[in-house]
Amino acid sequence: MTDDSPADTARPSVLFVCVHNAGRSQMAAGFLAALAGDRIEVRSAGSAPADQLNPAAVEAMSEVGIDISTANPKILTTEAVNASDVVITMGCGDTCPVFPGTSYRDWDLEDPAGRGVEAVRPIRDEIRDRVEALIAELTTRATAG
C-alpha cells in the first residue's frame, strides 16, 4: 500500500443526528467511540439541540461503562454532514441536508426524552446492537477496499 491509498489516509466518518442531540445520537456516538476506537471518526448533532444531555441517557450509558456526561448537544451543520461518509438520522425528518456520495440511513428508535432510565435501557441496547453492526460493516468495507 502506498501513502496516498484511501486506507492509509482516511477512516470512515459517521454522523449521528437526532432532534435534540441529547439522547439517541449521543448514546450512539458514545458506543461508536468506545467500541470502534480510532478506526471510525464519530460526530453527533441535532436539528434543534437541547441545553443539556438527557440525564436518563447519561445514566443508562454509565451502567454499561460509557461516560457521555461531558458531551454537549451541538447544532447540525452542513459542514458536519459534508465531512461524513455515513449520516444516521434518528427522527430529524427533512432537516438533514443531503450531499452526493454520502450514505444516509434512518434508525427508527423510540425517543428517550422525558423518560426514566428503565425506559431508556431498551433503547440503549438497541442502539448498541445497531452500532456493533455498523462497525462490522464499515471496518469490513475499509479492509476489503
- Which residues participate in catalysis according to the annotation? 18, 92, 96
d(CA 96, CA 47) in angstroms, rounded, equals 8
> Can you say how many angstroms the Cα of residue 50 is from the centroid of all Cα atoms in its chain?
16
Q: In terms of Cα–Cα distance, which of 22, 30, 139, 4 is closest to 85?
A: 139
Other Cβ atoms less than 10 A from the Cβ of 79: the count is 9
The DSSP symbol for 108 reads -
- What are the cell numbers at 44? 453527533
Q: 19 φ, ψ to 5°?
A: -60, -55
